[in-house]
Amino acid sequence: SFTVAIIGRPNVGKSTLFNRLVGKKLALVDDQPGVTRDRRAGEARLGDLNFTVIDTAGLEEGDSASLTGRMRAQTEAAIEEADAIFFVMDARAGATPEDRHFASLVRRAGKPVILLANKAEGRVGEAGAYEGFDLGLGDPVALSAEHGDGFAELFSCLLTALPEATQLADDDDERRERLVLADDEEGSELDPTKPLRIAVVGRPNAGKSTLINRLLGEDRLLTGPEAGITRDSISVDYLWRGRDAERRLKIFDTAGLRKRAKVEEKLEKLAAADTLRAIRFAEVVVVLLDATIPFEKQDLTIVDLVAREGRALVIGLNKWDLIEDKAHIVALREEAARLLPQVRGALVMPVSGVHGAGLDALMGAVISAHEVWNKRLSTSRLNRWLEGVIDQNPPPAVAGRRIKIRYITQPKARPPHFVIFGNQLDELPDSYRRFLTNGLRQTFALPGTPIRMTLKQGD
Ligand code: GDP
């Protein structure tokens, strides 16, 4: 077995994490009143892993006079005892000077560290979690110790951080079974009570403003607020009433931004920055093309940007009223599939902003892309699929060494993110990686979303 120390400045949620890992009962026993303990230890369970966890949270209640020195000493002692470290920061507060101080203690120890951006329930913590990147402790895992979110990813990270201690032996079928059973929740991270955030991006003159105005019902984009529309600095909140669906939307307000922009800003630069800002704001991005001149270089660049930012995507072919031969859509869809492999299967929807045609279908596509983007696949289904794939098409041997793929999990959605564990995976050819990504896309119906795949050494 192994030991993990929970480190971090006061109030980031170390105790809550400790309690979550060891279970409430145990923690209470360890936490008897009158017993002043600066460090406490408990038997933790995460996924199918059992290990010892040390918490330094007791310090927070101590008298403040000598706190800093004691805290430092206790932290160092805990680090010394541990095989790995959970470094906890508060995602809502971002990275503070105190975090940096503790981070430097931890870095110096040279032990495996997993950075946890805690209190990240919902999306509120996202910005602060980004700040975690510059603590120099690797990518943060967004966590809510209180709500129990993010533990699947924490589990994956722990397997990677301590490959020997947590190794799944080739013949350890029983453990593999337990692992699969432990995480058999199939589902979605979609929260239907929250408005779906969309942005319409595209080249100048593709018809973005016309389309957004049409979606909002004529010229309200420029004149709001009106009934049913509230407007904040960057977006318009609004209820889309389609033929068969209603959905609350938050539409990125490009026009509003442009109006406020400083005159001296170069228009071109502004357009590029706007596009990126819009993409980062959105969950689903509608890339609007001018159907009379589709798939220009700039269009492809924009699609690429959407994919890199990990957003769901729908292609709108605007000015469809100008296309005489409507059967042309077949060729255009084929072209999209060929030119945009990174978002294979993205829906390509003809629309006319000027005439208001195709909007219902476009919004249907947006809603379905959003569902796909939120999808969470169970570990058991994924591994059943993976076994079949490897049986039929095993990964190649490179330089006489066998590449071994052990198993797969999906720790994150939005966009779907898969982690594959195995040996020699750094040798895995890109073609095989693409083969796996496309297999996932087809088998589990994941069109129109970027797919993230991380390969992790499990040996
Ligand atoms: P933006 O720069 O992408 O916001 O584009 P605009 O919405 O300002 O539209 C650019 C031009 O294309 C305007 O002259 C619009 O009238 C025209 N336009 C926009 N949508 C359509 C459409 O669906 N059909 C046609 N025929 N023209 C359109």
Tokens of 357: 């045609």
Q: What is the pLDDT of residue 27?
A: 43
Q: What is the pLDDT of residue 426?
A: 85
208 Cα: distance to centroid of ligand 1 (angstroms) = 7
* Main-chain phi, psi angles of 51, to 5 degrees: -155, 170
- CATH superfamily label, 378-457: K homology (KH) domain (3.30.300.20)
Give the residue, by CA position, lying nearest to ligand 1 atom 19.
207
Q: What is the pLDDT of residue 125?
A: 61
| pLDDT by residue, tens only, the chain of 459 residues | 899 999 998 888 888 899 889 885 444 434 443 333 556 788 888 877 889 999 876 555 445 555 666 677 778 888 898 999 999 999 888 888 889 888 988 888 889 999 999 988 766 666 666 677 778 887 788 888 988 888 877 887 887 777 677 665 555 555 555 554 445 556 777 777 788 999 999 988 899 888 988 887 744 444 344 434 444 446 777 787 777 667 888 888 665 544 444 444 445 555 677 788 888 889 999 999 999 999 999 999 999 999 988 999 999 999 999 999 988 999 999 999 899 988 888 999 999 999 989 998 999 899 999 999 999 898 888 998 999 999 999 998 877 888 889 889 888 888 998 989 888 888 899 899 999 999 999 899 898 899 999 888 764
CATH code linked to domain 3-166: 3.40.50.300
Q: How far apart are CA 407 and CA 398, in angstroms?
A: 20
Q: What is the pLDDT of residue 268?
A: 53
Q: Name beta bridge partners: 422.
A: 405, 457
pLDDT in tens, 253-272: 665 544 444 444 445 555 67
354 Cα: distance to centroid of ligand 1 (angstroms) = 7
Q: Coil, strand or helix: which one is 398?
A: strand
Tokens of 285: 């991005």
Tell me which architecture the domain covering 196-375 has in CATH: 3-Layer(aba) Sandwich (3.40)
What is the dihedral sign for C-alpha 292, 204, 447, 321? negative
Q: What is the pLDDT of residue 242?
A: 73
Residue type, 352: S
- Using a 10 angstrom Cβ sphere, with 0-12 exposed, 13-18 middle and 19 or more buried, the burial of residue 392 is exposed
Best substitution site from 351, 354, 359 to test ligand 1's pocket, by max atoms within 8 Å of Cβ? 354
Nearest in space to 188 (alpha carbons), one of 367, 454, 434, 433: 367
ipTM above 0.85, yes or no: yes
Tokens of 339: 């030119």
234 Cα: distance to centroid of ligand 1 (angstroms) = 22
Q: H or E stretch including 396?
A: none
Give the residue, by CA position, lying nearest to ligand 1 atom 6.
207
pLDDT in tens, 358-393: 998 999 899 999 999 999 898 888 998 999 999 999
Q: How many CB atoms lie within 10 A of CB 262?
A: 6
Q: What is the pLDDT of residue 237?
A: 79
Contact 234, 334 (CB under 8 A): no
DSSP 250-301: EEE-HHHHHHHS-TTS-HHHHHHHHHHHHHHH-SEEEEEEETTS-S-HHHHH
Contact 230, 198 (CB under 8 A): no
Q: How far apart are CA 137 and CA 339, in angstroms?
A: 38
Contact 202, 208 (CB under 8 A): yes
Nearest in space to 12 (alpha carbons), one of 137, 134, 117: 117
Q: How far apart are CA 11 and CA 17, in angstroms?
A: 11
- Residue appearing with tokens 């408005």: 195
Instruction: From the CA of 202, give the closest atom in ligand 1.
Output: 3
Give the residue, by CA position, lying nearest to ligand 1 atom 11.
205
Q: How far apart are CA 415 and CA 413, in angstroms?
A: 5
Side-chain half-sphere exposure of 97, counting CA atoms within 13 A = 0
Which residue ranges have their beta carbon within 6 Å of ligand 1?
Answer: 202, 204-210, 318-319, 321-322, 352-354
Q: To 5 degrees, how large is the angle CA 78–CA 83–CA 88?
A: 60
Give the residue, by CA position, lying nearest to ligand 1 atom 17.
207
383 Cα: distance to centroid of ligand 1 (angstroms) = 48
CA 279 from centroid of its chain's CA atoms: 14
Q: What is the pLDDT of residue 257?
A: 46
211 Cα: distance to centroid of ligand 1 (angstroms) = 8
* Main-chain phi, psi angles of 10, to 5 degrees: -60, 150
Looking at the chain, the domain(s) classified CATH 3.30.300.20 span 378-457
pLDDT in tens, 58-112: 555 445 555 666 677 778 888 898 999 999 999 888 888 889 888 988 888 889 9
Looking at the chain, the domain(s) classified CATH 3.40.50.300 span 3-166, 196-375
94 Cα: distance to centroid of ligand 1 (angstroms) = 42
CB environment 399-413: b (16+ within 10 A), e (fewer) = eeeebbbbbbbbbbb
Tokens of 123: 């999306």
The stretches of 120-193 forming alpha helices (DSSP H) are: 126-131, 151-161, 173-182
Best substitution site from 201, 203, 205 to test ligand 1's pocket, by max atoms within 8 Å of Cβ? 205
210 Cα: distance to centroid of ligand 1 (angstroms) = 6
Residue type, 104: S
